[in-house]
Amino acid sequence: MSTVAIVGNGPLENIPDLALYRDAVNIWIGADRGALTILEHKLQLDYAHGDFDSVSDIDRERIKNNANYFQEYPIEKDKTDLQIALEHALSLQPDRIYIFGATGGRLDHMLINVQLLNIVVKQQINAIIIDKQNKIEWTCPGTYTIEKDEEYEMISFLSMTEEVRGLTLTGFYYPLTNHTIKMGSTLSISNQLISNYGTFSYDKGIVLVVRSRG
């Protein structure tokens, strides 16, 4: 299974220790200052994309000299640096994409970064935004197996559409069977697995799965 990791421009205090993902990731892509973050974690910088307006001239040269591929863009453009990096990741056709540095900081950037997951899911590629507190995954109707994670043990299911129909949770402390939840409902917030595995499924809508530290 091939995995691409993208590191964005989010606050450094929100980014986990990337070295913990060294063995799981095949390709590292830096978006703007995220490229510098990859280097500072002593990881291989495979690709660097961005306008690099958030780094000094010295750090920009460091990124350019250490990246296997470096592409600079104008500050005024129609896409964010993270979207450009994500589109490149999709062109590599991986099985999974991890996205770091996509939360915290500006709220508009964080919200659109979560919405960008929809682009990935439509190509049937698993994508997860990861920070020190949360793992965020956009899903489509279907049946999913979810494994217990001792670090991110709290699990919430958020409706990203007007309603989600047929939501069923098995193996959870708070189970559900064929339930309809509407956007803004807090019914399916703060759940936990009661064993090592559980399942969730639904028939219609979009569900955002957020796993959080307790």
Pairwise CA distance, residues 41 & 22, whole Å: 10
Question: Tokens representing 132?
Answer: 């020190």
Residue 121 and residue 140 in contact, taking contact as beta carbons nearer than 8 Å: yes
Report pLDDT digits (tens) over 111-145: 999 999 999 988 989 999 999 999 999 999 999 99
CB atoms within 10 A of CB 167: 23
| Residue 84: pLDDT over 80 | yes
| Residue 88: pLDDT over 90 | yes
What's at 188, amino acid-wise?
A: S
SS3 95: coil
The predicted pLDDT at position 166 comes to 97
Buried b (16+ CB within 10 A) or exposed e, 46-62: bbbbbbbeebeeebbeb
pTM of the model: 0.93
The predicted pLDDT at position 63 comes to 97
The predicted pLDDT at position 111 comes to 94
Domains of the chain, earliest start first:
3-132 (3.40.50.10240), 139-212 (3.40.50.10240)
Residue 43 and residue 36 in contact, taking contact as beta carbons nearer than 8 Å: no
Average pLDDT of 91-112?
95
Question: Tokens representing 13?
Answer: 């205090």
Look at residues 89, 51, 49 and name the one whose alpha carbon lies nearest to residue 68.
Answer: 49
Backbone φ/ψ region at 62: left (φ over 0), alpha (ψ -120 to 50), beta: alpha
Q: How confident is the model at residue 1 (pLDDT cuts 50, 70, 90)?
A: confident
Average pLDDT of 152-163?
96
The predicted pLDDT at position 76 comes to 87
